[in-house]
Amino acid sequence: MRIIGLYVCILTSCLLATHTLANSTLTVAVNAEYAPVIFTKDGKVAGIEHDILEMVAEELGYTLDYVSTEFHNVLSAVSNKTADIGVAGLSMTAARQQIVDFTNPIMALGQMAIIRLDRAGELSYPGTIKKPQTKVGVVKATTGQAYAQAQLGMTEVFAFANVEAGIVALRAGEVDFFIHDAPTSWRIAQESEFSDLLSLYHPLTEERIAWAVAKDNAVLLEKVNEVIEKLHVAGTIRQVQSKWIPVRIVVN
């Protein structure tokens, strides 16, 4: 029986990255620029995904080692095995699934458009975003950029490094609309520093947010998925979302 047990270990658990099992640490490639989903607060990673990932790590007996990187480098860090998991408010797309495997979804979101409040009279009508010469801002390498390029063929699309740069351009009038995931719109609705902006709460897309895992790391993927499912069934993930997004605006 001991010999069989060792053989099973070789075929299953030992397939997990050596450094992960050796010191019980999960290396996380993170782009923490997406409040309240995943962001930096007081010098530390925080947000919905962070809280859920901590619960998963505790359940599995791991500690977390966050390694910050640009959004477009998160998937490559996982596929190149410099990280075990990639976390960045990642939407599950067919293109990304060619590079990595995804865990079970953490939450469902969608792209939304943001405008300046003083332009609401001219830009808030449905279809305005698709008019010729309209300037639309997005974050580079996101599903917001993919949507704009695929669906807004008559507009000018400007790709920015992060949300902050996009907001600056929107306020300066360099773009008419800024497209990003729903939590950005929720954040704008809640924080007084964004009182000059208006979110248009009609989702432009439907997306599922998940974590990236290397394609040959099936053992880790299975372990993480088991815990995610338990947290969903217990209602814990919904509670975490409510903690970080206390106000939700629904427009019929």
17-108+208-244 and 111-200 in the same fold:
yes
Using the predicted structure, report yes or no on whether residue 6 has a pLDDT greater than 90: no
Q: What is the pLDDT of residue 10?
A: 36
Q: How far apart are CA 162 and CA 83, in angstroms?
A: 22
Residue 22 has which token pair?
A: 């050796």
Tell me the CATH number for domain 111-200: 3.40.190.10
User: Looking at per-residue confidence, does 35 or 84 come out higher?
Assistant: 84
Mean pLDDT of 182-197: 89
Tell me the CATH number for domain 17-108+208-244: 3.40.190.10
Using the predicted structure, report yes or no on whether residue 249 has a pLDDT greater than 90: no
At CA 148, angle to CA 71 and CA 109, rounded to 5? 60
Q: Could you tell me the pTM of the whole model?
A: 0.74
Using the predicted structure, report yes or no on whether residue 252 has a pLDDT greater than 80: no
Backbone dihedral angles phi then psi of residue 216, each to the nearest 5 degrees: -100, 20
Q: What is the pLDDT of residue 189?
A: 81
Count of other CB atoms within 10 angstroms of residue 124? 15
User: Looking at per-residue confidence, does 108 or 196 come out higher?
Assistant: 196
Mean pLDDT of 176-196: 90
Using the predicted structure, report yes or no on whether residue 195 has a pLDDT greater than 90: yes
Using the predicted structure, report yes or no on whether residue 17 has a pLDDT greater than 70: no
Mean pLDDT across the chain: 88
- Please give the helix or strand (H or E) that residue 105 lies within, else none: none
Using the predicted structure, report yes or no on whether residue 8 has a pLDDT greater than 70: no
Q: What is the pLDDT of residue 23?
A: 57
Residue 65 has which token pair?
A: 């080692």
Q: What is the DSSP letter of 248?
A: -
Instruction: Assign 202 a pLDDT band (cuts: 50, 70, 90).
Output: confident
Q: What is the pLDDT of residue 246?
A: 64
List the one residue out of 108, 78, 101, 70 whose CA is nearest residue 224: 101
Each residue's pLDDT tens digit, 36-66: 899 999 999 999 999 999 999 999 999 999 9
Distance separating the N- and C-terminal Cα atoms of the chain:
62
**Annotated domain spans of the chain:** 17-108+208-244, 111-200
